[in-house]
Amino acid sequence: GAVVSQHPSWVICKSGTSVKIECRSLDFQATTMFWYRQFPKQSLMLMATSNEGSKATYEQGVEKDKFLINHASLTLSTLTVTSAHPEDSSFYICSARDFQNRAITGELFFGEGSRLTVL
């Protein structure tokens, strides 16, 4: 079935550094990918919608200069957390829909998630 792969699964970094997270659709083309953030005991919150070949669409309250999104190909989107601080520590998850091959139009396939800890 459709698979979305995310890397790295875990990352620990020092405050002030930047961290890049990759999201790949392995067996389908994803013109649109979604980036979510989940804090402990909270729901998934959509951060931004990543569009292949164009600028990402950010949700209200999400700083586009801090969370840089690049969607350069139909199978890869990256999220870069710039100048990370401890409050950015969270579980970041990407997702995509396989519109061409999936009958369930609302189904999202998620990456495995990336747990970021900023010291």
CA distance 87 to 67: 13
The residue (of 29 and 57) whose beta carbon lies closer to another protein is 57
**Cβ density class 17-30: b for 16+ within 10 Å, e for less:** eebebbbbbeebeb
Q: How far is CA 38 from the centre of its chain?
A: 11
Name which of 59, 69, 56, 58 is nearest 23 in CA terms: 69
Shortest approach of another protein to residue 3 CB, angstroms?
A: 11
Per-residue contact string for residues 40-69; x = within reach of another protein by CB under 8 A: -xxxxxx-----------------------
Among 16, 27, 107, 117, binds another protein (CB under 8 A): 107
Does 92 help bind another protein (rule: CB under 8 A)?
no
Does 7 help bind another protein (rule: CB under 8 A)?
no
Which residues of this chain interact with another protein, rule CB under 8 A? Answer: 41-46, 91, 93, 104-108, 110-113, 115
